[in-house]
Amino acid sequence: MAVRQICPGIVSVGAIDWDRRLFDELIPLPDGTSYNSYLVQGSEKTALLDTVDPIKVHELLANLASLGIGTIDYVVAHHAEQDHAGAIPDILAAYPAAKVICNDKCKGMLSDHLHVPEDRFQLIQDNDTLPLGGKTLRFIMAPWVHWPETFLTYLAEDRILFPCDFFGSHLAQSELFVGDECRTFDAAKRYYAEIMMPFRSHIAKHLERLKEFDIKWIAPSHGPVYQNPSFILDAYRNWVSDTVANRVLIPFVSMHGSTRLMVEHLTDALIRRGVSVVPCNITNADIGELAEELVDVATVVIGSPTVLTGAHPEVGRVAYLANALRPKFKFTGLIGSYGWGGRMAEQILQLFTAIKPEVLPPVIVKGMPREDDFRSLDQLAETIRQKHESIGIWPAESA
């Protein structure tokens, strides 16, 4: 059981899910996850900040029992998604005096998803405070991080920000605080890519508002607590900015080797020109790793064979994913092969409705590539180098 103290009067009572490997039946979890719930005890009142996924409700209740918690006055529901709010009905049953603190939009969602009774709610608005006796909770509305009802809590006396999913990471570990910064950074970047990236413009505004607060610790609802807030704040400011890296991502599928030859040639041509490149065979790729690469690459070149008259279905899935995540890459291209014809290029590019990268000339060949086709790939590599130079990211420090 994960009962761990952040500081006097503030205890982490959530659960670590070491074995979970898939989230929302979509997102791979190579490092498991945690459902963080925080108990804040003032001299007069006690508040529970978020709960846990229903599969771990027995651990949350056992943790509270181990601390001898007889009364909970408030359950702060920052976000209505079940991995945070799913155990609210069980907490309300165990602590009949507790009120659910949330905004009006969250109330509607909790009523719909969890059937929380009307009389158990206490609504709050932006900048409202809730005194507990020597500890004061201040609520900060932060819609679209990553649902429309999300808000954050700032504990003034201890200078702790409780941001729910904001700044989170799917990372199961026994330590309460960040230990291995490299591991945490990778997990947090992956989490941002998979969950937060579509809401980049909203997050940028919320980051600006957080400058008003003196933050000592950040305690998210997934992953470890940040005892050095600038570590994650600076990372988020970079991720949501328009800054991109001198790097090319090449997600590809190859059925009979033609597209693979093209990918390998383009990869080498880019390396020779001082451009970092990541080829990714998407038939066996982790979509979380692919999403993480999309966070700050400047260019995405899709490689695909033709199936019937269109792109390979797996490539279409990646294009759909990129469009949904709305990354900030500036340029896109398409390379691939066909047997007798089709409209692969048009089909792929039509999937980019939410993002508007500059489209580079495609290189599509019939059958196996020839010398002229390899020269076209060299020209594509040179065009990419020039485009990167034009926006000031080439040469890179590492090039």
The residues near 94 (Cβ < 8 Å, ≥ 6 apart) are 61, 64
**Per-residue model confidence (pLDDT) at position 308:** 82
121-165 per-position pLDDT tens digit = 999 999 999 999 999 999 999 999 999 999 999 999 999 999 999
Q: Under CATH, to which class is 248-387 assigned?
A: alpha beta
Structure tokens at 98: 């507790």
What angle separates helix 229-240 from helix 181-191, to the nearest 10 degrees?
40
R_g over Cα of the chain? 24
Burial class (CB in 10 A: 0-12, 13-18, 19+), 227: middle
**Per-residue model confidence (pLDDT) at position 224:** 97
Structure tokens at 92: 């309300």
CA distance 148 to 136: 25
Residue with tokens 């940028």: 204
**Per-residue model confidence (pLDDT) at position 394:** 94
**Per-residue model confidence (pLDDT) at position 255:** 92
Average pLDDT, the chain: 95
Domain chopping of the chain, boundaries: 4-240, 248-387
**Per-residue model confidence (pLDDT) at position 398:** 47
267-290 per-position pLDDT tens digit = 999 999 999 999 999 998 888 999
CATH fold of the domain at 4-240? Metallo-beta-lactamase; Chain A (3.60.15)
Residue ranges for the chain with pLDDT beneath 70:
1, 397-399
Contact 40, 10 (CB under 8 A): yes
**Per-residue model confidence (pLDDT) at position 311:** 87
